[in-house]
């Protein structure tokens, strides 16, 4: 589905009734479709995860032209695939996205942004950190992408330590260490360096976006864009609207997430947003169940993977996230909602105190 404004011809990939830019009428426009005539599929092994499907699709358009397209989504023979109109792809290429913080998340968001066709400016404290991140992106892309395409993607990522390089960015996403004072300092600097039209986003998992926006003169321009780890693989982006974020900025965030191939969901600025608020009490309960010593960790995980059809059991997942991180999020939820159901259970507190934090320390519910 593609929707187009009849007045300014702006396009969206999701249902929009009124244009957010000129208030014109938006109507659905016909999209070119291709039929899947053949495919090959390999599964890429990915440690600790289910295998990732990687397909070559042989497509035939309505004029009988054939093309091959790569896809991480599986299709059946005869499935219809919509072609994004050319103007949309070109528009995506025109955007410039700044990333502050080239760690785990900043690196992932930079990779996906460059793969979308955006120009990317990646900033960290030292150029060396950003350079190492770029080299990790190179290694990751080498596993799935042809050399010439990879070079084109890498060529869109510029690394720097200078905030003034962000002057003309359309969007700047901060993915800095989870520290409110640091993020506030950087936001202030961004407002000095960027144009008035630049939209700011934060990838914070737990900090209040309304509080962070208090250092800005224009608080309506900051929105939460909460990506999930690993960014290239995870489809969801939570779009977090603070009490000041404008509707125009939320629409822009949805549009960018969609262009990146992600599915956006909108939520308010409250502890845990959607996913962590639901997930952490579940992990906490699984840990509490483990402590009654009637089931092994492996049996609890097996019950959840087979009984609830989850790709991974809660104890293996807690080990992957890090038990200290799980406890910190539960503390945050408990503090925010003052509800006993979020209180970290005794076993979790003891394991964190002992330093058994999961994969990162080699021991959690399992040994690594």
Instruction: Clarify whether 242 is annotated catalytic.
Output: no
3-state secondary structure of 301: helix
Question: Shortest gap between Cβ of 125 and ligand NAD (angstroms)?
Answer: 4
Write down the residue that tokens 């992106």 correspond to: 137
The full DSSP string for 27-66 is: EEE---EEEEEEEEEEEE--TTSPPEEEEEEEEEETTS-E
Instruction: Kindly state whether residue 176 participates in binding ligand NAD, applying the rule CB under 6 A.
Output: yes
Residue 59 CB, nearest approach to ligand NAD (Å) = 34
Q: Residue 266 has what DSSP assignment?
A: E
**Alpha-carbon span 24 to 276, nearest angstrom:** 38
Q: In which residue are the tokens 């300014």 written?
A: 8
Binding residues with ligand NAD: total (CB under 6 A): 22
CB of 350 within 8 A of CB of 304?
A: no
Is-catalytic flag, 197?
A: no
- From the list 34, 133, 203, 276, the catalytic residue is 276
Asked about 126 being catalytic, the answer comes back as no
What sign results for the dihedral spanned by CA atoms 328, 282, 312, 288? positive
Indicate whether 177 belongs to the interface with ligand NAD (CB under 6 A). yes
Of the two residues 71 and 104, which places its CB atom closer to ligand NAD in the complex? Answer: 104
Q: Which residues pair with 283 in a beta bridge?
A: none
Between 19 and 240, whose beta carbon lies closer to ligand NAD?
Answer: 240
> Residue 240 or residue 348: which is nearer to ligand NAD going by CB?
240
Q: Is 226 a known active-site residue?
A: yes
Q: Rounded to an integer, what distance in angstroms lies between the CA atom of residue 111 and that of residue 137? A: 6
Contact region with ligand NAD (CB under 6 A), list: 6-14, 40-48, 121-129, 261-269: 121-129
Which one among 205, 208, 219, 276 touches ligand NAD, defined by CB under 6 A? 205
How far from 260 is each of 38, 130, 197, CA to CA, in Å? 26, 21, 21
Residues in the chain: 368
Tell me if 220 contacts ligand NAD by CB under 6 A.
no
Residue 176 or residue 351: which is nearer to ligand NAD going by CB? Answer: 176
Burial (Cβ within 10 Å: 0-12, 13-18, ≥19) of residue 18: exposed
| C-beta of 16 vs 176, nearer to ligand NAD | 176
Site for ligand NAD contains 182 (CB under 6 A): yes
Judged by CB under 6 A, the residue of 104, 144, 145, 305 near ligand NAD is 104
Q: Which is nearer to ligand NAD, 57 or 352 (CB)?
A: 352
Q: Which residues contact 147 (CB under 8 A, 6 or more apart)?
A: none
The yes or no reply on residue 162 touching ligand NAD (CB under 6 A) is no
- Name the minimum Å distance from CB 226 to ligand NAD: 6
- For residues 231 and 227, what is the distance between their CA atoms, to the nearest angstrom? 6
Q: What residue number has its CB nearest to ligand NAD? A: 103
To the nearest whole angstrom, how small is the minimum distance from the Cβ of residue 214 to ligand NAD?
A: 17
Q: Which region, judged by CB under 6 A, interacts with ligand NAD, from 51-59, 174-182, 238-246, 343-351?
A: 174-182
User: Which of 19, 153, 175, 357: binder of ligand NAD (CB under 6 A)?
Assistant: 175
Work out whether the CA dihedral 209, 97, 148, 72 comes out positive or negative.
positive
Residues at the interface with ligand NAD (CB under 6 A): 100-106, 123-125, 129, 175-178, 182, 203-205, 226, 228-229
Just list the catalytic residues.
205, 226, 238, 276
């Amino acid at each position: 589905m593609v929707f187009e404004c009849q007045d300014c011809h702006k396009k969206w990939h999701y249902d929009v009734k009124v244009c957010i830019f000129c208030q014109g009428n938006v109507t659905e426009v016909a999209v070119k479709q291709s039929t899947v005539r053949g495919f090959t599929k390999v599964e890429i092994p990915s440690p600790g995860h289910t295998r990732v499907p990687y397909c070559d699709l042989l497509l035939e358009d309505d004029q009988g032209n054939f093309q091959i397209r790569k896809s991480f989504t599986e299709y059946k023979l005869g499935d219809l695939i919509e072609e994004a109109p050319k103007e949309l792809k070109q528009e995506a290429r025109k955007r410039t996205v700044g990333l502050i913080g080239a760690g785990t998340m900043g690196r992932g968001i930079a990779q996906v942004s460059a793969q979308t066709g955006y120009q990317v400016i990646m900033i960290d404290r030292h150029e060396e950190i950003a350079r190492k991140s770029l080299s990790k992106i190179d290694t990751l892309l080498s596993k799935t992408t042809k050399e010439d395409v990879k070079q084109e993607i890498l060529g869109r990522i510029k690394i720097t330590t200078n905030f003034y390089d962000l002057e003309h960015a359309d969007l700047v996403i901060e993915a800095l260490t989870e520290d409110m004072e640091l993020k506030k300092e950087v936001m202030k600097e961004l407002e000095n360096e960027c144009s008035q039209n630049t939209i700011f986003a934060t990838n914070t998992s737990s900090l209040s976006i309304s509080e962070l926006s208090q250092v800005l003169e224009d608080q309506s321009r900051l929105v939460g864009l909460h990506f999930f780890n690993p960014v290239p693989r995870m489809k969801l982006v939570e779009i977090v609207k603070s009490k000041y974020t404008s509707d125009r900025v939320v629409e822009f965030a949805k549009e960018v997430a969609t262009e990146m191939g992600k599915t956006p969901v909108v939520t308010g600025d409250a502890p845990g947003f959607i996913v962590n608020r639901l997930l952490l009490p579940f992990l906490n309960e699984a840990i509490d169940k483990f402590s009654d010593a009637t089931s092994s960790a492996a049996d609890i995980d097996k019950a959840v993977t087979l009984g609830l059809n989850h790709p991974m059991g809660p104890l293996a997942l807690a080990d992957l996230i890090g038990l200290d991180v799980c406890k910190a999020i539960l503390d945050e939820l408990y503090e925010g909602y003052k509800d006993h159901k979020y209180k970290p259970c005794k076993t979790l507190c003891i394991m964190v105190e002992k330093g058994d934090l999961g994969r990162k320390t080699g021991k959690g519910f399992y040994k690594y």
